Amino acid sequence: GENVEQHPSTLSVQEGDSAVIKCTYSDSASNYFPWYKQELGKGPQLIIDIRSNVGEKKDQRIAVTLNKTAKHFSLHITETQPEDSAVYFCAEKTGANNLFFGTGTRLTVIP
């Protein structure tokens, strides 16, 4: 349950376009999947999360989808803006009640 794969490692999009980051996990007991945004020189900040009893969750321009059967979840950012540029981490909560993180995606939004 401590293996979260995250793709891509880097992503560049034009301002206004959409960005999608995908993560896969292996522990079928995992039931909580948060996404964090880390700006330069700062700690990670929770931006959205989803629990295993829900397939999709939206918060303005950000959405997360979960496919429990395939064991993958994705972050979708629409109408990207330069301030969305950051490193994004997915994570899963295992049965041990700890969060294990993916390796991160560096998103660059080109004005």
> Can you give the binding site for other proteins, defined by CB under 8 A?
6, 32, 34, 36, 41-46, 49, 89, 93, 96-104
Q: How far is Cα 79 from Cα 108, in angstroms, rounded to an integer?
A: 13
Shortest distance (Å) from residue 100 CB to other proteins: 6
Shortest distance (Å) from residue 93 CB to other proteins: 5
Residue 69 vs 97, nearer CB to other proteins:
97
DSSP assignment letter at 71:
T
Residue 40 vs 111, nearer CB to other proteins:
40
Shortest distance (Å) from residue 107 CB to other proteins: 15
Place of tokens 């959205």: 48
Q: How far is Cα 81 from Cα 52, in angstroms, rounded to an integer?
A: 29
Residue 77 vs 91, nearer CB to other proteins:
91
CA distances to 10, 15, 39 from 2, in Å:
22, 34, 24
Place of tokens 């496919």: 67
